[in-house]
Chains A and B, each alone.
Chain A
Amino acid sequence: DAGVTQSPTHLIKTRGQHVTLRCSPISGHKSVSWYQQVLGQGPQFIFQYYEKEERGRGNFPDRFSARQFPNYSSELNVNALLLGDSALYLCASSLATGYGYTFGSGTRLTVV
């Protein structure tokens, strides 16, 4: 079975641009969460979606948004990019909220 897949694996954006990151959960998993991992730190929670509804939001500005589609895949959108948004963005899926999480390999975003 395929694991959690994220695309793209790497990308470089300019300050002020927007970016869309994509995540496909493990088949059968209905919950998707997004985390931001700045170099040298632990991942920070951004969003959690379950059954296409937002179930949790971390302490991130409104420039960050996400959605989950009927097939349970998800997008993370970041507008008006700042240099500080440079990080590894991780997606995790689970059967339901509160169950164990499986992480993807992440998208490395560099803002210049």
Chain B
Amino acid sequence: GDSVTQMEGPVTLSEEAFLTINCTYTATGYPSLFWYVQYPGEGLQLLLKATKADDKGSNKGFEATYRKETTSFHLEKGSVQVSDSAVYFCALSDQAGGTSYGKLTFGQGTILTVHP
């Protein structure tokens, strides 16, 4: 079945440091890929997405590129802020149609803490 693997956490950085959170996936077909962020005590917020190979999703300074050849969707940000402290989830969605219905499969999450 589909699966998503994220790098082990937690990740602790100083403000303005470069961030990379690795994400690899296993899926049949051509899934869409997502990064969600969860702040303490809250639900999930969509951070960015990519729907086909070589697409780059970007939002709020975060970027991730859909790499089909390496089945990866690594999250990057050039300069993190204290306000970026949260849990980040990589996820994939099988394409709706036929027996698929677009459910999301999540990785285990990576805790990011940014210190001033």
* Chain B 67-109 interface residues, beta-carbon cutoff 8 Å to A: 89, 91, 93, 95-97, 100-109
- With known contacts A90-B44, A97-B96, A106-B43, A41–B108 Cβ distance under 8 A: yes
Q: Mark A52-74, 1 if CB is under 8 A from B, else 0.
A: 00011010000000000000000
CB distance from B61 to the nearest CB of A (A): 21
- For the complex, give the distance between the alpha carbons of A55 and B21 in Å: 32
- CB closest residue in chain A, given B111: A40
- For the complex, give the distance between the alpha carbons of A56 and B99 in Å: 9
| Interface SS of B by simple majority | strand
User: Which residues of chain A have C-beta atoms less than 8 A from B45's C-beta?
Assistant: 103
Q: Mark B31-48, 1 if CB is under 8 A from A, else 0.
A: 000001000001111100
User: Which residues of chain A have C-beta atoms less than 8 A from B97's C-beta?
Assistant: 98
- CB closest residue in chain B, given A50: B101
Interface residues on B, range: 20 to 34
Residues on A facing B (Cβ under 8 Å):
4, 33, 35, 40-45, 48, 50, 55-56, 58, 90, 92, 94, 96-106
List 25 A-B pairs, Cβ < 8 Å: A4-B43, A33-B104, A35-B104, A42-B4, A42-B89, A42-B91, A42-B106, A42-B108, A42-B109, A43-B104, A48-B103, A50-B101, A55-B101, A56-B101, A56-B103, A98-B93, A98-B95, A98-B97, A98-B100, A98-B102, A100-B49, A101-B93, A104-B43, A105-B42, A105-B43
Residues on B facing A (Cβ under 8 Å):
4, 36, 42-46, 49, 89, 91, 93, 95-97, 100-109
